[in-house]
Amino acid sequence: MKKIIFLPVISLLFFFSACKSHNTDAGPDKIDSKVDSVLNLMTLDEKIGQMVIYTSDWDVTGPTLKSNYIDDIRKGNCGNIFNAHTTAYVRKLQKIAVEESRLGIPLLFGYDVIHGHKTIFPISLGESASWDLEAIEKSARVSAVEAAASGLNWTFAPMCDISVEPRWGRVSEGAGEDPYLGSKIAAARVHGFQGDNNDLSDSLTILACVKHFAAYGAPIAGRDYNTVDMSKRVFLDAYLPPYKSAIDAGAMSVMTSFNELDGVPATANKYLMTDLLRNQLGFKGFVVTDYTAINELVNHGVAANEAEAGLLAVKAGVDMDMQGEVYFKYLKKQVESGQVDEKLIDEAVRRILKVKFMLGLFDDPYKYCNAEREKRLVYAPEHLQAALDVAKKSMVLLKNANNTLPLEKGEKIAVIGELANSKRDLLGSWKAAGDWDFMKSILDEIKTYNGENNVLYSEGCKMMGDDRSGFAAAIATARKAQKIIMVIGESCDWSGEAASRTNIQVPGVQTELLEKLRALGKPVVVVLMNGRPLDLTREDQTADAILEAWFPGTMGGKAVTQVLFGEYNPSGKLTMTFPRNVGQVPIFYYEKNTGRPIYLPNDKYKSKYIDCPNTPLYPFGYGLSYTTFEYSDITLSSNTLKENGKIEATVTVKNTGSRDGDEVVECYVRDLVGSITRPVKELKGFEKIKLKAGESKPVIFTITPDMLAFHQLDMSYGTEPGDYKLFIGTSSADVKETSFKLE
Ligand code: NOJ
């Protein structure tokens, strides 16, 4: 191939005629042969260029920037760009790649479209609390449409990292602690980004990226980027399922994680990237590193220098170097000296080119660069409507003593807190291209709904710091009102990447002011904005009602208002356990029983704390409604589950209140005796149902043996006969119970 030296123009013509008509002729074999026809034209430098991605200087999402990326595109040394968007800018860069590089191979354009591109949805942890897979898929779909309309063809999402670590700021980007729910949500997000049929050639779908592979959500002590150390069984049973589910759903790219697993950093981990991902899970797309993750192998201490780090990564099966310049600097020499077999490079480039063909970029490199379409689709009214819908569904009512909520229209309300008047914070971390100037704050929306004259505002205090000078004014304001709403929580940059905390209480003096307001004897409602489970013990003791609003996105102000005033009956449920204090962390519902469980009759010698209950403040799956639901006992179609058989478990759920409402019905099992110890509960199904006031509905869960499989003593994956418990209820801690036998 090196012998073929084309003049640029001739090569371009030849090249495009070799690659055209992918859409009409898109079978895998056809694409493979087109990929090979391109590969045959490429020099080693050009191949390595495809294995490189640089950030543009439009957005900063990591520690390094590169000023000469445009020149690298022109020279064929950079085949992919991230953090560049808008049709105008993408077109400009794509034009350089297509018209000025020797072979004219189009660029991929990636971006962290995590919970929206322009129209921002609630943070992913918040969305997961909706337990509404259709709404979550819709959120990803809208995000993809807006991203694609703005020139992008690749998102670095979904994040599929299970986490039981509220100290870790990145729990805000995931779907919480549960492998089953996490898997369903991971698949829904992939379908949303890549479209129902994974038709990447559709110009309104974008490539999904499963991240961060693997086990990034379990850093020791919750400190971002820290070491991960877990048993292989826990990894396979609890952490792997959402990644697997996203890959099974058709995601065509995967990002390596920053952490090590069992002593081997993910970016150098052949077991993860080749044996597991490709050989066992059958992944057919390409692997990109996280930001400078190859370089960081030197800091990890598995490579003496960057050249060695690059060798480890390429041999592990890592196809694309994000921002590190390691492949660019060293791979060519390593191939020429025989340290790296060129076949490895060819394989990596094949995988990357294949995705470019699937996206249809060779047919039309500017297919995402239609300025008219961008104008029409970005912030389209139906997108804002979808964001409002998901934001309402994601909110979790944590407390509602004496039916303090909903508020009545026209009541005199005091609104207190810096967050009540903040627009930027509504968007949360990873706000992508979302802007907040035109948005409305919670305060704005409450005024619009309740009438300007019925709403009094005082900031009271900032989110951070210990300045109490605004307390007196806030108290004076609250005295004039019938009810008090205080919006408290974390600022938007207190969760997300590099935002770990050791203290997970509400920061600053916000809670102190809340306590002073409570002393006025008027009903106090807390609206929370935060990106992680917090220790809300003081707030729970103080407020009459608590609404967890997360960072609810572009339409967050309106969503909070509609929930507070009962225009929408809250239906969200927690997908991460909220501890009583940070000392309980990690705390999650699928714990093991231990040999000395808390229920033993003796007082001392059992697994417990001497200063705190074992139970969390708010358990996984918990969330209240403005109505009430009653569960019947469970009936089983049989008490015996046979191999290849099934059992139907039925409960009847009744809305016993006076308002219509939605309820998430949750189904758990427990394997009582195993070859290894088994969790006390594992989620195996859920259904979100709508019930009118007074209405009853049966909900049926079908239990099959494959749902009970796990990695057994000898690490084989399968089921073990014996006795099981089955639970159905409104949260992991409030269930009806029955039992069955697996034969
Ligand atoms: C680092 C983050 O870990 C990752 O999630 C993100 O996609 C990349 N930076 C690119 O911004």
Distances (CA, A) of 590 to 184, 279, 398: 18, 30, 21
Average pLDDT over residues 575-579: 99
Average pLDDT over residues 111-120: 98
* 234 against 15, higher pLDDT: 234
Q: What is the mean pLDDT of the chain?
A: 96
Instruction: Provide the β-strand partners of residue 649.
Output: 636, 701
Instruction: Classify each residue of 33-58 as buried b or exposed e, where b means 16 or more C-beta atoms within 10 Å of its C-beta.
Output: ebbeebbebbbbebbbbbbbbbbbee
Confidence class for position 271, pLDDT limits 50, 70, 90: very high
How far, in Å, from the CA of 291 to the mean position of ligand 1? 6
φ, ψ (nearest 5 deg) of residue 701:
-110, 135
Task: Give, using CA atoms, the residue closest to atom 11 of ligand 1.
Answer: 61
Could you give the residue range(s) of every CATH 3.20.20.300 domain in the chain? 2-374
DSSP for 265-332?
EGGG-HIIIIIIIIIIT---SEEE-STTTTTHHHHHTS-SSHHHHHHHHHHHT--BEES--HIIIIIH
Interval 586-614: pLDDT, tens? 999 999 999 999 999 999 999 999 999 99
How far, in Å, from the CA of 256 to the mean position of ligand 1? 10
How far, in Å, from the CA of 683 to the mean position of ligand 1? 30
Average pLDDT over residues 663-677: 98
Q: Reply yes or no on whether the pLDDT at 221 is more than 90.
A: yes
Those residues with Cβ within 8 angstroms of residue 630's Cβ, 6 or more apart along the chain or in another chain: 653, 654, 656
DSSP-based three-state secondary structure for 428: coil
φ, ψ (nearest 5 deg) of residue 287:
-110, 125
170 lines ligand 1 (CB under 6 A): no
Q: CA 21, CA 723: separation in Å to the nearest integer?
A: 58
Could you give the residue range(s) of every CATH 2.60.40.10 domain in the chain? 629-742
Tell me, yes or no, if 363 is annotated catalytic: no
- SS3 labels along 691-738: ECCCCEEEEEEEECHHHHCEECCCCCEECCCEEEEEEEEEECCEEEEE
Q: Reply yes or no on whether the pLDDT at 290 is more than 80.
A: yes
Q: Reply yes or no on whether the pLDDT at 678 is more than 60.
A: yes
Interval 686-716: pLDDT, tens? 999 999 999 999 999 999 999 999 999 999 9
Asked if residues 703 and 683 have their Cβ atoms less than 8 Å apart, the reply is no
Q: CA 345, CA 45: separation in Å to the nearest integer?
A: 11
φ, ψ (nearest 5 deg) of residue 298:
-70, -45
Q: What is the pLDDT of residue 11?
A: 44
Interval 351-382: pLDDT, tens? 999 999 999 999 999 999 999 999 999 999 99
290 lines ligand 1 (CB under 6 A): yes
Structure-token pair, residue 713: 């003593």
Those residues with Cβ within 8 angstroms of residue 44's Cβ, 6 or more apart along the chain or in another chain: 2, 332, 335, 336, 342, 345
Q: What is the pLDDT of residue 13?
A: 35
Those residues with Cβ within 8 angstroms of residue 62's Cβ, 6 or more apart along the chain or in another chain: 55, 291, 292, 323
Q: What is the pLDDT of residue 386?
A: 98
Average pLDDT over residues 289-315: 98
Q: Reply yes or no on whether the pLDDT at 578 is more than 50.
A: yes
Q: Reply yes or no on whether the pLDDT at 16 is more than 50.
A: no
How far, in Å, from the CA of 322 to the mean position of ligand 1? 9
173 lines ligand 1 (CB under 6 A): no
DSSP-based three-state secondary structure for 461: coil
Task: Give, using CA atoms, the residue closest to atom 3 of ligand 1.
Answer: 290
Q: What is the pLDDT of residue 125?
A: 98
291 lines ligand 1 (CB under 6 A): yes
Q: What is the pLDDT of residue 59?
A: 84
Degrees, nearest 5: CA angle 731-708-730: 10
Asked if residues 87 and 150 have their Cβ atoms less than 8 Å apart, the reply is yes
Q: What is the pLDDT of residue 26?
A: 60
62 lines ligand 1 (CB under 6 A): yes
Asked if residues 426 and 549 have their Cβ atoms less than 8 Å apart, the reply is no
Residue 680: CB atoms within 10 Å: 18
Degrees, nearest 5: CA angle 455-392-553: 80
How far, in Å, from the CA of 327 to the mean position of ligand 1? 19
Q: CA 489, CA 73: separation in Å to the nearest integer?
A: 44
Task: List the catalytic residue out of 112, 202, 290, 535.
Answer: 290
Q: CA 66, CA 54: separation in Å to the nearest integer?
A: 7
Could you give the residue range(s) of every CATH 3.40.50.1700 domain in the chain? 394-564
Q: CA 163, CA 224: separation in Å to the nearest integer?
A: 12
- Amino acid in position 237: D
Q: Reply yes or no on whether the pLDDT at 5 is more than 50.
A: no
- Amino acid in position 37: S
Task: Give, using CA atoms, the residue closest to atom 1 of ligand 1.
Answer: 291
How far, in Å, from the CA of 266 to the mean position of ligand 1? 15
Q: What is the pLDDT of residue 20?
A: 39
Atom of ligand 1 nearest to the CA of 216: 3
Q: CA 613, CA 598: separation in Å to the nearest integer?
A: 9
Instruction: Tell me 236's DSSP state.
Output: I
Q: Categorise residue 725: left if φ over 0, alpha if ψ from -120 to 50, beta otherwise.
A: beta
46 lines ligand 1 (CB under 6 A): no
DSSP for 89-110?
HHHHHHHIIIIISSS-PPPEEE
Class of the CATH domain delimited by 394-564 = alpha beta
Least Cα distance to 621 among 738, 528, 733 occurs for 733
Strands (E) located in 325-436: 396-400, 413-416
Q: Can you identify the CATH homologous superfamily of domain 629-742?
A: Immunoglobulins (2.60.40.10)
Atom of ligand 1 nearest to the CA of 258: 3
Distances (CA, A) of 239 to 178, 218, 232: 9, 9, 10
184 lines ligand 1 (CB under 6 A): no
Residue 377: CB atoms within 10 Å: 22
632 lines ligand 1 (CB under 6 A): no
Asked if residues 624 and 400 have their Cβ atoms less than 8 Å apart, the reply is yes
Interval 449-477: pLDDT, tens? 999 999 999 999 999 999 999 999 999 99
Q: Reply yes or no on whether the pLDDT at 734 is more than 50.
A: yes
Strands (E) located in 521-581: 524-529, 545-548
CATH 3.40.50.620 fits 2-374, yes or no: no
Asked if residues 287 and 253 have their Cβ atoms less than 8 Å apart, the reply is yes
Atom of ligand 1 nearest to the CA of 62: 9
Q: Reply yes or no on whether the pLDDT at 57 is more than 60.
A: yes
Confidence class for position 24, pLDDT limits 50, 70, 90: very low
Q: Reply yes or no on whether the pLDDT at 660 is more than 90.
A: yes
Q: What is the pLDDT of residue 196?
A: 86
304: exposed, middle or buried (C-beta count within 10 Å: 0-12, 13-18, 19+)? Answer: exposed
How far, in Å, from the CA of 492 to the mean position of ligand 1? 17
Helix (H) or strand (E) holding 450: helix 442-450
Q: What percentage of residues in the chain have a pLDDT greater than 90?
A: 95
Average pLDDT over residues 40-64: 94
Task: Give, using CA atoms, the residue closest to atom 7 of ligand 1.
Answer: 156
Those residues with Cβ within 8 angstroms of residue 480's Cβ, 6 or more apart along the chain or in another chain: 412, 414, 456
Ligand 1 pocket test: pick from 65, 81, 255 the residue with the most ligand atoms within 8 Å of its Cβ: 255
Residues in the chain, total = 743
Longest dimension (CA), the chain: 86
User: What is this structure's pTM?
Assistant: 0.97
